[in-house]
Amino acid sequence: MEKSKKASHNRLSAYIQKSCNLALKAVLWTGVCFALNIGLLYFVQMLIGFYLKTAMAPDFIASNREFMDTLAQMSAMGFEQLSIHLVLTAILTCLGILAACKFFFLARYISPMGIIGRVIFCVLPISGVVAMLIPEYVPVGGWEIAYALSVFPTFVMFNICFTIADELLPEVDELTALFQKNDNSGKRFNGRR
Residue 8, number of CB atoms within 10 A of its CB = 10
Judge whether residue 139 has pLDDT over 70. Answer: yes
Angle 85-157-26 (CA atoms, 0-180°, nearest 5)?
95
Is position 158 within any domain? yes
Q: Residue 162's pLDDT is what?
A: 95
With CA atoms as reference, report the closest residue to 83 among 124, 119, 43, 24: 43
Residues 66, 142 contacting (CB under 8 angstroms) = yes
- 109 within domain boundaries: yes
| Residue 19 located in a structural domain | no
**Does 149 fall in a domain?**
yes
Apex 82 CA angle, 98 and 27, nearest 5: 45
Q: What secondary structure letter does DSSP report for 184?
A: T
Domain count, the chain: 1
Residue 185 has pLDDT above 60, yes or no: no
Domain presence at residue 171: yes
The answer to whether residue 4 is domain-embedded is no
Mean pLDDT of the chain: 89
* Dihedral (CA of 106, 108, 112, 115) sign: positive
Range of the domain at 35: 29-179
> In the beta sheet, which residues pair with residue 182?
188
Region 133-146 average pLDDT = 87
188 has pLDDT over 80 = no
Grade residue 41 by pLDDT with cuts at 50, 70 and 90. very high
- For 50, the enclosing helix (H) or strand (E) is helix 2-51
pLDDT at 23: 96
pLDDT at 193 > cutoff 80: no
Q: Per the domain annotation, does 193 fall within a domain?
A: no
pLDDT value of residue 189: 45
Considering the entire predicted model, what is its pTM? 0.84
Residues 87-129 have pLDDT tens digits of: 999 999 999 999 999 999 999 899 888 889 999 999 999 999 9
